[in-house]
Amino acid sequence: MHDTLGIAVSQFAPAASRAANLTDIAAAARTAAARGARVIVFPEYSSYFVDPFDASLADNAEDLDGPFVSTLAALAGELDAIIVAGLLEKADDGRRVRNTVVAVGADGIRAVYRKLHLYDAFGQRESDWVEPGEIAPAETFEVDGLRFGLMTCYDLRFPEVARTLADAGVDVALVPAEWVRGPLKEHHWGVLLQARAIENTFFVAAADHAPPLGVGHSMIIDPQGVPIAQIGTASDVAVAHIDPAAIARVRRVNPALALRRFRVTPR
């Protein structure tokens, strides 16, 4: 295992253009890799996004072996990195889509996660357009001995999702998001990300859309809940070189996971 591992969060504003989004992703990924990142996290809906949602979502959805993933795989091979990004995946009914996150290396897909909790809150109805993911074992992958797990945006409000990642031995939770703007939403974003890190004593890396539609403030947080790399509101990249031994050090002092008396079970 390397002494430290570079992790990047890349914040941008995905548009209603698959080609333009891939161009932005490639530029940001090269910047992140040049700064030493081996794992690069992009937002939810990185392949295509339109506000408000409309029928173009299904028109621009892809299969897992489609051009978005194949382009990410080529980029991952060029940069010797794993790229994590939100994908509009085709669903079975042809009308809705799947809100999917893929982790892609040069050899193809390493992990796939379909958003469990859809954003039917704060006046929004994501479920009108998106098919919810099925409850399944945690999707994880490893880089240099560190285990990474996937979750998405609104899942942050359900602490049991992150806890299932901790139960799967995850060292770093990756959170692609489109955290919709609104009163106190930026506050909720930061507090929830830090809480998930603190209660699970693992790293959290979260990438949001840039304003005006997202709140921005993409960040990487250590196992004590301290942001160690962060972006403001611009489209940008932040890189943290994390120390894997930090997790064990924190857990020796704060063995909350070992002391808990409840387990997570599906509803």
Write out the catalytic residue numbers.
Answer: 44, 115, 153
Contact 116, 136 (CB under 8 A): no
Element (DSSP H or E) covering residue 40: strand 39-41
Sole residue written with tokens 């109805």: 125
Q: Which string of b and e fits 216-255 if b means at least 16 CB within 10 Å?
A: bbbbbbbbebebbbbbeeebbbbbbbbebebbeebeeeee
Nearest partner of 6 among 203, 179, 190, 177, judged by Cα: 203
Give the Cα separation of 230 and 129 in Å (integer). Answer: 31
DSSP codes, 199-260: HHTSEEEEE-BPTTTB----EEE-TTS-EEEE--SSSEEEEEEE-THHHHHHHHH--HHHH-
H or E segment to which residue 100 belongs: strand 97-105
Q: Residue 117 corresponds to which tokens in the numbers above?
A: 């909790």
Give, as one character, the DSSP assignment of residue 4. Answer: S
